[in-house]
Amino acid sequence: MKITIIYDNEIAKNIKELKAGWGFSCFIQTKEKNILFDTGWDGDMLISNMQILGIDLQEIDSIILSHSHWDHCGGLARLLNLNTNLETYIPQSFSKQQKEEIKKRSNTYEISKSREICPKVYTTGEIEGSFIKDKTKILIKEQSLIISTIKGLIIIAGCAHSGIDKILDSAN
């Protein structure tokens, strides 16, 4: 298995061509599937970084979106324009409009409970969390990824709005 960070707020200092942007995306290569977790906020930047890192977007089998915030799913539309053979795993709590748009362009799975994506790779299912916006507490559901390895579990989270303790509890 190999995990490559494609998109983040900071860039790797040894690869100057990469662009940093608000959000997150990583590419997970397993024996069974190639998975993209989140897409950052800018699709062009996502595609550019993938090309620089030698990742062929046609090799992506599945996209898993952690939650509906723009900085984690903003690059999805651009990606779906370039690869129409994707399966997309989204939290069931996505808005009706978001779900309809994604379902038009990919084989879409709505996730509420933990689900196996491929051997040894699972989503946590939706975990409720919150964040503060303009002094108001906003509830949001988010899913994370659990990868079982011979050395233990790897947890990949988007923003971890639910708190890392809840995510780790769900991984057990």
Higher pLDDT, 147 or 167: 147
Region of residue 170 (phi > 0: left; psi between -120 and 50: alpha; otherwise: beta): alpha
Predicted TM-score (pTM) of the model is 0.92
Residue 31's pLDDT band, with cuts at 50, 70 and 90, is very high
Q: What are the strands of the beta sheet with 113-118, ordered from one edge?
A: 113-118, 121-125, 145-149, 152-156
- What 111-115 contacts at long range (C-beta under 8 Å, 24+ apart), as own/partner pairs, is 111/143, 114/146, 114/170, 115/89
Q: Name which of 110, 115, 120 is nearest 141 in CA terms.
A: 110
Has domain 2-171 been given CATH number 1.10.260.30?
no
On the question of pLDDT at 5 being above 80, the answer is yes
pLDDT digits (tens, 9 = 90+) for 139-152: 878 999 999 999 99
The answer to whether 121 and 153 have CB atoms below 8 angstroms apart is: no
Residue 99's pLDDT band, with cuts at 50, 70 and 90, is very high
pLDDT digits (tens, 9 = 90+) for 69-87: 788 899 999 999 999 899 9
Q: What number is the average pLDDT over the span 84-102?
A: 94
What mean pLDDT is reported for the chain?
92
Residue 109's pLDDT band, with cuts at 50, 70 and 90, is very high
